[in-house]
Amino acid sequence: MIRVVVESPYKGPPDSPWADVARNIRYVRACMADCFRRGEAPFASHDLYTHEGVLDDKNPAERKLGIAAGFAWGELADKRVFYLDLGISPGMSQGRLEAELRNQPMENRYL
């Protein structure tokens, strides 16, 4: 299996297209299921680290920690896959820049 980092929206300001966190969580889980169907091993830090009792995404220091940890794991990935049905959020843009800095392969996808 190849290791892929899943990039999809998690949250955004109340007036943004990414404000519906519950929908975004359902979406990232559908994206991970898509990866498994493709024979990949997906990793989505924005779903894992935001579980209650892990990190609080509303706390700037904890959000920063989660992003750093996700990038640390992302270094080990074979590829970053960007699921674009909901657009590109600011967090996804950060993921794209990280992949570019590491010369990591990227792929755009839709469900």
Q: What is the mean pLDDT of the chain?
A: 94
pLDDT at res. 99: 96
Interval 33-52: pLDDT, tens: 999 999 999 999 999 999 99
pLDDT at res. 18: 78
Q: Is the pTM higher than 0.85?
A: yes
Above 90 in pLDDT, residue 101? yes
pLDDT at res. 103: 96
Complete edge-to-edge strand list for the sheet that includes strand 40-43: 40-43, 2-7, 79-83, 106-109
